[in-house]
Structures are given as structure tokens and as C-alpha cells.
Amino acid sequence: MFKAIAKGLSITFKHMLPGHSTTVQYPSVKLQVSDRFRGLHRLVPTQDREKCVACYLCPTVCPAKCITVESAENDKGEKYPKVYKIDLLRCIFCGYCVEACPVEALEMTGAYELANFKRDDFEFTKERLLK
């Protein structure tokens, strides 16, 4: 019993030493996220338009049903999303939409500061996702 208590206290004292803390002074020091972190969504642009072909795979595979896509056709007959919205209040950041995209038009960034003051700011339109 004494051995277990001593082991627990040694771990506690080790974490009290400088250089072993896990606390980050958040506003001034940003966290480093991994490459596989699933943060805010982003539509990948090309030279003249977005890369999305409005195939409806992302809203189909989304378990939270937070993606809305309405398609249209341009002069060449190519489909593009006339409306593309993601409701972040419903999104669970699972990444299924990114995996399902056949043309890799959607990606997840490392942005994790998503706080807003109004509910409307959590609805990301195509224009906001292209930034």
C-alpha cells in the first residue's frame, strides 16, 4: 500500500516541476494541432471557381445532416453548387464528408477557434468556406 501511495505522489510531484505542465497560456500561446486534426471545413478553390461538382455525396454521408447543397449548371454543362451551407451547430466534425468527396473539394483545416456571438454566424455559406 505504501508503495502505491509513493508511486502516485512521485507522479504528482514530477508534474509540478517546471517543463512538465500541460497547461498552455491560451490567448497568447496557441495550441499546436496535429495534421489529422478535424477543425473548420474549407472548400478548395480552383482558378475560376470552386472544385466542388455538386455530387451530393457529402450531405448524403453526413450523420448529422448539417450540409445543404443545391446544384446548378454553367454554360459548359458542368454542375456546380449554387448553394453550399454547413451548419456548425449541428456538425459533429466526423470528417465523413471529406472522405466521401470524389474530387477532394472539401477539407478540414486546423482552425479550432469557432466561438461566435450570434447563431447566424455558425452557418457557413459557400463564400465563407472558400476563404
**Mean pLDDT for all residues in the chain:** 92
CA within 13 Å, CB half, 73: 4
Structural domains of the chain, count:
1
Res 23: pLDDT: 79
Which strands, in side-by-side order, build the sheet including 67-73? 67-73, 79-87, 123-124
In a domain, 47, yes or no: yes
CATH number for the domain spanning 79: value is: 3.30.70.3270
Q: Tell me: the pLDDT tens digits for 55-97?
A: 999 999 999 999 999 999 999 899 999 999 999 999 999 999 9
Spatial separation of the C-alpha atoms in residues 105 and 107, rounded to whole Å: 7
Residue 31 pLDDT more than 90?
no
In a domain, 19, yes or no: no
Of 39, 50, 60, residue with least CA distance to 126: 50
Res 26: pLDDT: 85
In a domain, 16, yes or no: no
Res 120: pLDDT: 94
Domain extent at residue 101: 24-129
In a domain, 7, yes or no: no
The percentage of residues in the chain with a pLDDT greater than 70, rounded to a whole number, is 100
C-alpha dist (Å) from residue 50 to 32, 93, 116, 130: 29, 22, 26, 7
Residue 22 pLDDT more than 80?
no
pTM: 0.78
